[in-house]
Structure 1
């Protein structure tokens, strides 16, 4: 069910949500969080699709904030339009698409605040055009977790360094989330091999932010210098850990399969696919506390208690 509201207010949107739930007989009590997506018109569809698929695991109220530019003659016009979706139109929750014009765009937090689910955590996701300091952004201040994506910027390694300077607990990035299968496999490989790592290398396409985060994480955890090796890609293609007994290698030149090689053991084939955005978002929503390992990867420094 869709309800379109033109030149509206937050109170009218809340009323439309209640009316929509009554019409389809769906309560709001099953929703566990509020997800706020801040994006542009071009990327709104893909972001909404990913959030909708993730909502089947994490039923949520999704608020999509799209800041629109009024025509030149109407540049002083301040307006809020909304599209309320409930039922099958909104996945396993409910969705409100907010299009702001004029002065309202500069105060989107005042529109979003009355629409947050009471006593439920808030997650803000910027698929593109994330602020330099997400934790200080007016919408970021409302959230327990703030999700950005270094794959959406032109100079990811420069932005990565800037994020390290402005990091606050609760920040995370999908470039880090994409590494979860790699980190799990590397940890499992080291548990099996039980050897001391003396050198390391990460192979990836040039300027890949996930590869840089992985290299910094390995440096902090293994206390060795990690070489950055440029490959043809796509994304991260291999990790090589040197030991006195031979190399530990995870190699994925292309496709969904990788080869794991351990000293003294035959190579094994493992599943290591490139995951869609919906799976990345669903993973991030499973835990809403601060991601300490992301902070380690971002800054390249080991946690004080484990250093």
Structure 2
């Protein structure tokens, strides 16, 4: 069910949500958190669809905030337009698409605050154009979890440096979330190899933010030099952990299949697909406590040994959205 409201208020939006739930026969609120998506008009549709798919695993009230401030010399009257979605039109929760015009666009928190579910955690996600310090942003300050995406900017490695400088518990980035299958596979491989790692190599397309975070994770957890090698991609293509018994290698040149090589064992073929944004968001919603591993990887000092093809971390970027 959908209800369109023009030049409305938070009170009217709340009443429309109650009315819509009653109309479909679900008067109770069966959601577990509020997810605030802050985006622009161009990305609003895709962001809302991803949030709705993620809500199938985590029933949520999704509030999509689209700011339209007055950027001309004319004064646009402050106005809030809303589209309320409940039932099959909103995943397994409920959704409100908020378009903020004029001066109210600069005070989105005053519109969002009355729409938050009481006594439920709040997650804020910026698909594009995240603030420099998410925890100090008025909307970010309302949240227990703040999600950014370094792939959505022109220079993501500079973005990672800014994230490290402004990090607060609860911050995370989808460039880190994309690494979960890689980290799980590599941790399992190290358990099987039972050998000390002397150095690591991360191969990826030029200036890939996930590769930079993976290198930081190795530097923090293994305390070894990490070599960054640029390949044609796409995205992260291989990881090599050098040990006294040989190299542990995860190689995924392209596609959804990778090979795992461990010294003294046969090479195995494993699934390592590129996950959708909805899957990444759903993973982030599974735990809302501070991600200490991400914080350590983000702030780690990566030492790069001199080697042919090696690149030092955090330089420049050509935009990609997968890992």
TM range (shorter): over 0.9
Hey, what does 1:109 align to over in structure 2? 109
Hey, what does 2:100 align to over in structure 1? 100
The residue correspondences of 1:188-267 to structure 2 (distance < 5 A) are 188-267=188-267
Residues 231-289 of structure 1: per-residue CA shift (max 9 Å, x gap):
11111000001111100000000000000000011110000000000000000000000
Distance 2:119 2:28 in 1: 13
Hey, what does 1:156 align to over in structure 2? 156
Structure 2: tracts of 5 or more residues without a match:
303-323
Aligned-pair CA distance for 1:96? 0.4
The residue correspondences of 1:1-307 to structure 2 (distance < 5 A) are 1-70=1-70, 72=72, 74-300=74-300
Distance 2:272 2:189 in 1: 14
Distance 1:218 1:251 in 2: 17
TM-score, reference length from structure 1: 0.96
4+ residue stretches of structure 1 with deviation over 3 A? Answer: 69-74
- Deviates further, 51-60 or 27-36: 27-36
Aligned-pair CA distance for 1:301? 6.6
Distance 2:75 2:193 in 1: 64
Hey, what does 2:320 align to over in structure 1? none
The number of aligned residues is 302
Distance 2:133 2:92 in 1: 31
Distance 2:102 2:69 in 1: 7
Aligned-pair CA distance for 1:71? 7.4
Aligned-pair CA distance for 1:77? 1.2
Distance 1:70 1:118 in 2: 32
Residues 126-168 of structure 1: per-residue CA shift (max 9 Å, x gap):
0000000000000000000000000001111111011100000
Aligned-pair CA distance for 1:70? 4.3
Whether the 8 Å CA contact 2:69–2:106 is kept in 1: the answer is no
Look up the SS of the partner of 1:154 in the other structure.
coil
CA-based RMSD: 1.2
Aligned-pair CA distance for 1:230? 0.3
Whether the 8 Å CA contact 2:69–2:103 is kept in 1: the answer is no
Look up the SS of the partner of 1:273 in the other structure.
coil
Aligned-pair CA distance for 1:41? 0.6
Aligned-pair CA distance for 1:196? 0.3
Whether the 8 Å CA contact 2:177–2:280 is kept in 1: the answer is yes
Distance 2:66 2:144 in 1: 21
Aligned-pair CA distance for 1:75? 2.7
Whether the 8 Å CA contact 1:69–1:75 is kept in 2: the answer is no
